[in-house]
Amino acid sequence: MGGSFDLQQYMTEGVERVVKDAVKATLKNPRESAFMLRFAAASKAASKKRRKAEDSGEHIPPFLIASITSKCNLHCAGCYSRCNHATTDEEPVRQLTGEDWGKIFDEADELGISFILLAGGEPMLRRSIIQAAGKKQNILFPIFTNGTFIDEQYFKLLDKCRNLVPIMSIEGNRETTDNRRGEGIYDKLIANMDEFKKRGLIFGASVTVTTQNYKEVTSAEFLGSLSERGCKAIIFVEYVPVTEESKELAPTDAEREYLSGEIQRLREQAPEMVYISFPGDEKNSGGCVAAGRGFFHINSHGGAEPCPFSPYSDVNIKDTSLREALHSPLFTALRSGDILRDDHEGGCVLYEKRELVEALINK
């Protein structure tokens, strides 16, 4: 598959499908669908830029993950980011400034990157960066948030800047969500969703899929309740084990197969929502799409990493451009080697083979 597989084409078609689904999903909301149609045109123009670069021998991914802060107010059970010490209770002193992130957004726009996923920590703690993102209308910014900081000021910003789409983390029903995220979090999320619906604002949900909740989070009851509240996108993120004790939470091959089948069915039978699975479709994309194949990650201090689950970096965005970071020795070695295509037990191939990734850094 490796030689003849056209990754750029696959990723472009994936982006276009997501945008087309989003247009379909927002048709009942004239302001939202007007934005989505404009974004569809911008996304097509960005695809052409990426194709042009590809034809001249340079691969530009359509997605970027930007962890704009390391600080978070929650202590979710089994959080990979806290286990990797990428998330803390305090705002670190060395993190990128708002100006640094503004430059990154500008360059991403020039390169033809269509989606920048804002993550953390809790990204909504850095309001000025989210305001800066709102001005980059060619890029769609899903904001991966725990939902506890969405206030009146944010509701107004989201109404004005339709390219900012909050993706709130929920684990299933009240008991499952509060068990992992803390008491009262489920009710806060539901209150947010009801407020979004009342104001005609689009939002999505991010679900960490484990061996304990994979049937619940793909059930008609759970998804129906989100759809009724106006949710337009569900992002299923397979749990990545970060300690030996949490290994039993990572979905097995059989459970991943079940999830994949359910997502396929949902895309056909319930098209009012967009369904995305991560890492999900690795088999269709010729392996893991990290390290710049489909996306890469910039951490809160500016380190360019293959993926949030693979926190290794040999280049900092403070010292280089986005384009140069994509050609870092680590990214180049990962893209040209076999690690990203290797078989693995589930979850994340780069996490599972972290010793090999570390060895590439220390070469």
Q: What is the pLDDT of residue 28?
A: 80
What number is the average pLDDT over the span 186-210?
A: 93
Separation CA 175–CA 190 (nearest Å): 13
* Residues in CB range of 4: below 8 A, 6 or more apart: none
Domain spans, the chain:
7-361
pTM (two decimals): 0.87
Q: What is the pLDDT of residue 221?
A: 92
What CATH number has the domain spanning 7-361?
Answer: 3.20.20.70
Q: What is the pLDDT of residue 110?
A: 96
Q: What is the pLDDT of residue 268?
A: 85
Separation CA 252–CA 344 (nearest Å): 11
What number is the average pLDDT over the span 342-352?
A: 58
Q: What is the pLDDT of residue 14?
A: 64
55: left (phi over 0), alpha (psi -120 to 50) or beta: alpha
| Banded pLDDT at 287 (limits 50, 70, 90) | low
- Report whether the peptide linkage leading into residue 112 is cis, meaning its omega lies within 30 degrees of zero: no
Bridge partners (DSSP) of residue 116 are 64
Q: Tokens for 98?
A: 């708002």
Residue 50 clears pLDDT 80, i.e. is over it: yes
φ/ψ of 209, rounded to 5, equals -95, 125
Residue 313 clears pLDDT 90, i.e. is over it: no
Q: What is the pLDDT of residue 33?
A: 82
